[in-house]
Amino acid sequence: MPLDKSTHTEIFTALDPAPRLLMGPGPVNAYPSALQAMATPMLGQFDPQFTGYMNEVMVLYRQIFQTQNRWTLLVNGTARAGIEACLTSMITPGDVVLVLNFGRFGHLLKEISERCGGRVVTIETEWGTVFEADAVRDAIKRHRPRIVATVHGDTSTTMAQPLAEIGAACREFDALFYVDATATLGGMPVEVDGWQLDAVTSGLQKCMSGPPGSSPITFNDRVADLVTSRKHIEEGIRPSGYVAAPGQRIQSNYFDLAMLMDYWGPDRLNHHTESTSMLYAARECARVVLGEGLDHTFARHQLASAGLRAGLQAMGLKLYGDEKNRMDNVTGVYIPDGVDADRLRTELLVDFGIEIGTSFGALHGVIWRIGTMGYVCQKTNILRCIASLDAVLRRNGYGAPAGAGIDAVYGAYDGK
pLDDT > 70: percent of the chain: 98
Spell out the residues 6+ positions from residue 201 whose beta carbon is closer than 8 angstroms to its own.
75, 79, 82, 83, 85, 86, 178, 179, 180, 181, 182, 215, 216, 217
Q: What is the mean pLDDT of residues 308-335?
A: 96
Beta strands in 225-318 (DSSP E): none
pLDDT, residue 5, reads: 60
Q: Tell me the per-residue pLDDT of 144-155, one tens digit each, with 9 for 90 and over.
A: 999 999 999 999
pLDDT, residue 374, reads: 97
Phi-psi region of 236 (alpha: psi -120 to 50; beta: other; left: phi over 0): left
pLDDT, residue 349, reads: 97
Domain ranges (residues) in the chain: 32-289, 294-414
Assign domain 294-414 one CATH number from 3.90.1150.10, 3.40.50.880, 2.40.50.100, 3.30.750.80. 3.90.1150.10
- Give yes or no for residue 316 having a pLDDT over 80: yes
- Give yes or no for residue 7 having a pLDDT over 70: no
pLDDT, residue 73, reads: 98
Q: What is the mean pLDDT of residues 212-222?
A: 98
Q: What is the mean pLDDT of residues 261-281?
A: 95
Task: For domain 32-289, give the CATH number.
Answer: 3.40.640.10
Cα separation of 206 and 184, whole Å? 8
Spell out the residues 6+ positions from residue 215 whose beta carbon is closer than 8 angstroms to its own.
74, 75, 76, 77, 78, 79, 80, 81, 82, 83, 85, 201, 202, 203, 204
Cα separation of 273 and 276, whole Å? 8
Cα separation of 233 and 243, whole Å? 9
Mean pLDDT, the chain, whole residue set = 96
Give the number of other CB atoms < 10 A from CB of residue 313.
Answer: 15
Write the DSSP symbol of residue 374: G
Q: What is the mean pLDDT of residues 174-196?
A: 98
Q: Tell me the per-residue pLDDT of 23-57, one tens digit each, with 9 for 90 and over.
A: 999 999 999 999 999 999 999 999 999 999 999 99
Buried b (16+ CB within 10 A) or exposed e, 363-390: beeebbbbbbbbbbbebebbbbbbbbbb
Q: What is the mean pLDDT of residues 115-133?
A: 97
Q: How many Å separate Cα 125 from the centre of its chain?
A: 21
pLDDT, residue 401, reads: 85
pLDDT, residue 6, reads: 63
Would 32-289 and 294-414 be classified into the same CATH topology? no
Q: Tell me the per-residue pLDDT of 351-360, one tens digit each, with 9 for 90 and over.
A: 999 999 998 8
Cα separation of 333 and 311, whole Å? 11
